[in-house]
């Protein structure tokens, strides 16, 4: 069936794209399905999801991400290992080569938006050479449903994704054949050499992490958010694998979003129109809503193993990657906030997946401790979420629980968070979804049932009045009881067979916290520094440089 012809105020020529074979604009989900199957990009699975594979890249490539160093943004960007500079002339040259590559090829265009608050929306355009990546953009971003608005759409930022185009490092100045490059002056993102669709999603998140705090004093957050029956909003900070999506997708609360949000002076709002959930070993009992999405038309399943004859899925099969993914629109979830917006959070929960088995499963934080742990961003990277990782979790510190996507200095985000917590008297918590009874390989992963019980007790207000004890090393306030959770689980030291081994590992982890935080000592107050752990000799970190 021929595509409905629309006039486009801003066409492909605006981006320098010419002489393409066919351009397909804003195709619907069924139309994209037809293209995906016809192009042999993916397969239709049992009950309707489309299954695709991403080849060599089954996770992000952080070492291949760059920001163009240009006059309009160079003094604001937090340059370093995370935000590696890219030369303007090299970007222009690479862009020309990408434009030449697209000649004679089919391209798919999705015009959409990022940001559910109209005051802070970013109009974007995603141009891809694959129909399935166009469906990914349609699922993940906010659709423009008005025909007239689509015709007159003028993108403030454009992504051009060309997975089959490979850079030549000696010519293009990249680190490898893969590249994810953001140019704030041209309002353009180039992605090539990788089929992993997560790069599309996270590149726009990086853009918002620059624009919103810098221009609008809106805190951009790597977090999920949901809302209770009384309208109380909760925010869940955390990196991939910590449980943001699982714990915020709660049948008793309405989901605002699972991964990226802004916190303005009016409240919290989702950046996205969909979810990008980990699919490996999904449990239909523990994660019923997400599991159900893997059985629905419109969902994209990345690297999920499927029986070629029956087309039935095996969500437990990690032979392609541990980082199997399901990308689906928020409308697939039964309990959602329709406008994807909420009020100021009553509770902020910081999720950590502690591979050492040291951190308590739940603890209350003072505002200063919350700031310390937000800046620290301690967790474990779960196997598969980034290229080149081992199968075992690796303990890391990712500032603001999202360092790979933070374009400004961490102090910008931390100061905004501290201001919001103080202004709205927010309760702050640390929840460990990692190991108990010992480190990875010795202990076991904390049960989702126990973690959910702790989250429920937080959100119901039941933990606020419970007696707590200060952790002797980390100083955070650990409840002595929690409904539906055995008391011995709450004290991690009690779960180890050898308490002395726990003490040694706890001191080791405390030392890592303190060493990591030295990078931020100049930018924080004495009170925030005092919110950190104690060294084995009982001393705090040095405060000689603290203002």
Token pair, residue 8, equals 């486009």
- Average pLDDT rounded to a whole number, residues 69-76: 97
Residue 7: pLDDT band with limits 50, 70, 90 = low
**What's 48's DSSP letter?**
S
Which candidate in 35, 57, 202, 346 is catalytic? 202
Whether 259 is catalytic is yes
Residue 434: pLDDT band with limits 50, 70, 90 = very high
* Confidence at residue 539, expressed as pLDDT on a 0 to 100 scale: 52
Which candidate in 240, 249, 294, 385 is catalytic? 240
Q: Is the Cα dihedral 138, 143, 149, 152 positive or negative? A: negative
* Confidence at residue 547, expressed as pLDDT on a 0 to 100 scale: 27
Exposed/middle/buried for 236, CB within 10 Å: 0-12, 13-18, 19+? buried
Residue 534: pLDDT band with limits 50, 70, 90 = confident
Which candidate in 65, 244, 340, 341 is catalytic? 244
Whether 332 is catalytic is no
Token pair, residue 334, equals 């039964």
- Can you state the percent helix, strand and coil of the chain, rounding each to 5? 30, 25, 45
Flag whether pLDDT at 390 surpasses 80. Answer: no
Token pair, residue 322, equals 């541990």
Dump pLDDT digits (tens) for 183-204. 999 999 999 999 999 999 999 9
Whether 222 is catalytic is yes
Strands of 135-239 (E only): list them. 142-143, 157-162, 179-183, 188-192, 219-227, 233-237
Distance CA 6, CA 152 (A): 10
Q: Give strand pairing partners of 502.
A: none
Q: Which of 304, 256, 251 is nearest to 282 (CA)?
A: 304
Flag whether pLDDT at 420 surpasses 60. Answer: yes
Flag whether pLDDT at 546 surpasses 50. Answer: no
Which candidate in 8, 15, 35, 60 is catalytic? 60
Interhelix angle 29-38/131-140, nearest 10 degrees: 150
Which candidate in 8, 153, 222, 261 is catalytic? 222
Pairing between strand 65-68 and 84-86? parallel
Average pLDDT, the chain: 93
Which candidate in 194, 242, 245, 436 is catalytic? 245
Whether 240 is catalytic is yes
Which candidate in 125, 325, 332, 387 is catalytic? 325
Whether 60 is catalytic is yes
Distance CA 505, CA 492 (A): 12
- Average pLDDT rounded to a whole number, residues 483-506: 94
Which candidate in 64, 259, 289, 471 is catalytic? 259
Provide Rg for the chain, Cα atoms.
Answer: 23
Distance CA 437, CA 352 (A): 16
Q: Give strand pairing partners of 348.
A: 235, 428
């Amino acid at each position: 069936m021929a595509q409905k012809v629309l006039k486009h105020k801003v066409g492909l020529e605006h981006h320098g794209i010419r002489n393409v074979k066919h351009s397909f604009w804003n195709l619907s989900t069924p139309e994209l399905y037809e293209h995906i199957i016809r192009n042999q990009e993916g397969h239709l699975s049992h009950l309707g999801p489309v299954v695709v594979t991403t080849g060599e890249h089954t996770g992000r490539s952080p070492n291949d991400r760059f920001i163009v160093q240009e006059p309009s943004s160079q003094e604001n960007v937090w340059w370093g290992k995370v935000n590696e500079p890219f030369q303007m002339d090299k970007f222009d040259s690479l862009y020309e080569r990408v434009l030449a590559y697209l000649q004679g090829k089919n391209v798919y265009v999705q015009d959409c938006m990022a940001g559910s608050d109209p005051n802070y929306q970013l109009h974007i355009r995603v141009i891809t050479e694959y129909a399935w990546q166009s469906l990914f953009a349609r699922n993940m971003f906010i659709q423009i449903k008005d025909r007239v608005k689509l015709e007159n759409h003028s993108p403030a930022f454009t992504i051009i994704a060309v997975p089959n185009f490979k850079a030549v490092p000696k010519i293009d100045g990249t680190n490898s054949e893969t590249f994810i490059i953001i140019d704030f002056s041209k309002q353009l993102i180039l992605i090539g050499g990788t089929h992993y669709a997560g790069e599309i999603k996270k590149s726009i998140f990086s853009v918002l992490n620059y624009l919103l705090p810098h221009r609008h004093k809106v805190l951009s957050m790597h977090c999920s958010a949901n809302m209770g029956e009384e309208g109380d909003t909760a925010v869940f900070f955390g990196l991939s694998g910590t449980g943001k999506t699982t714990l915020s997708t709660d049948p008793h609360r309405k989901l605002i979003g699972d991964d990226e949000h802004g916190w303005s002076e009016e409240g919290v709002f989702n950046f996205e129109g969909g979810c990008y959930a980990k699919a490996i070993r999904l449990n239909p009992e523990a994660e019923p809503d997400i599991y159900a999405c893997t059985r629905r038309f419109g969902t994209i399943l990345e690297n999920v193993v499927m029986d070629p004859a029956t087309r039935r899925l095996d969500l437990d099969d990690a032979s392609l990657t541990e980082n199997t993914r399901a990308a689906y629109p928020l409308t697939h979830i039964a309990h959602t906030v329709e406008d994807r917006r909420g009020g100021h959070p009553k509770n902020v929960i910081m999720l950590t997946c502690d591979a050492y088995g040291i951190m308590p499963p739940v603890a209350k934080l003072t505002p200063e401790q919350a700031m310390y742990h937000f800046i620290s961003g301690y967790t474990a990277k779960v196997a598969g979420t980034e290229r080149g990782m081992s199968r075992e979790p690796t303990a890391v510190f990712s500032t603001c629980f999202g360092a790979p996507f933070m374009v400004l200095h961490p102090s910008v985000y931390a100061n905004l968070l501290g201001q919001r917590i103080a202004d709205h008297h927010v309760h702050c918590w640390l929840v460990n979804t990692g190991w108990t009874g010992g480190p990875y390989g010795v202990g076991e992963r904390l049960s989702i049932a126990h973690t959910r019980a702790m989250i429920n007790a937080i959100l119901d207000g039941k933990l606020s009045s419970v007696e707590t004890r200060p952790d002797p090393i980390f100083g955070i306030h650990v409840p002595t009881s929690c409904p539906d959770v055995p008391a011995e689980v709450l004290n991690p030291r009690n779960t180890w067979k050898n308490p002395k081994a726990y003490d040694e590992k706890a001191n080791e982890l405390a030392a890592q916290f303190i060493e990591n935080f030295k990078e931020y000592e100049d930018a924080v107050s004495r009170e925030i520094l005092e919110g950190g752990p104690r060294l084995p000799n009982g001393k705090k970190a040095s405060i000689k440089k603290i203002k």
